[in-house]
Every structure is written in structure tokens, then in C-alpha cells.
Structure 1
Amino acid sequence: MAFLDKISLLHAVLIAALLGLAPFTPEPHLVEKLRMLAAGTLTRPIDIFDLCLHAAPWALLAAKLLRVAQTR
């Protein structure tokens, strides 16, 4: 939990917004991969890795928000 305490909330939001949504055009990879997952077409290992890579900043932000809520 010390790792989450060292990261500021602002940095977590910026990381999620910039890395989690990159590239921004024509649509973010995360949105594309989630659509593929919902459609059942997310089968290639590179696509699964890409989903994990772009979802990781959002998971970090969620963990940070939970940590902030617990400490208050």
C-alpha cells in the first residue's frame, strides 16, 4: 500500500487519461479492445496484451481512489 501512497491522485488521473486512452484518434485502444471483448472477437494474444496494457492505468487509478477513500 505504500506504493499507492507515494503516487499523488493528480498523477494517477493524468496517467490514466494519457496512457490509458492513447492513441486518441480515431478511437482509444481501450474502447476498441473493450468492444472486441464484448463482441467475442478478442482472441489474438497481442490484442489481449494491448487490453491489459491500456487498462492498467485505470486499475491504478481505481486502486488509488479506493486507498484514498479508506484513509479518510
Structure 2
Amino acid sequence: MAWLDEFPLPLVVLACLLLGLAPFTPEPHLWEKLKMLAEGRLVRPLDMFDLLLHGAPFVVLLLKLRRLRQAA
């Protein structure tokens, strides 16, 4: 997991805000896809890819924060 050290925390947060929440209107894609997943409507491959794409920055942020906490 040393590759996480390469990414500055502000850059990861910026990726979460821009890529993770885009498009901002009418609602973020990530939120839309999570609702679809909860309702059992996330069946199309494009929707699954969308969830992966927009959720990836948040996964990286969680991993990075966990790694920073363990290092402290």
C-alpha cells in the first residue's frame, strides 16, 4: 500500500469532490448509483462502471486516511 503515500491528501480530497460528486445537478452520480444499488436496480454494466468510477476516489481517500492513522 505504499502507493498511497505518493498521493497528497489535498489531491485525493479534490478528486472526491470533483470526480466523486460530478455531475452536481440534479444529483451526484455516486448518490444516484448508491440509491440504485440499495433498490436492486443496479443491473446494467454501464451503471456498475459508473459506480466504480465515481466511488473510486472515496475508496482511495478511506484507504489513505486509514494508512495515515496507522502511521501516527
TM-score category, normalised to shorter length: over 0.9
Equivalent pairs counted in the alignment come to 72
Residue identity (%): 60
How far does residue 2 in structure 1 lie from its aligned partner after superposition? 2.3
**Which consecutive aligned stretches of 4+ in structure 1 deviate over 6 angstroms post-superposition?**
none
Distance 1:44 1:17 in 2: 25
Tell me the residue number matched to 1:11.
11
TM-score of the superposed pair, with normalisation by structure 2: 0.95
Mapped to 1, the partners of 2:2 and 2:44 lie a distance apart of: 35
Structure 2: which 5+ runs fail to align? none
Tell me the TM-score normalized by structure 1.
0.95
CA RMSD after TM alignment = 0.7
Gaps of 5+ in 1: none
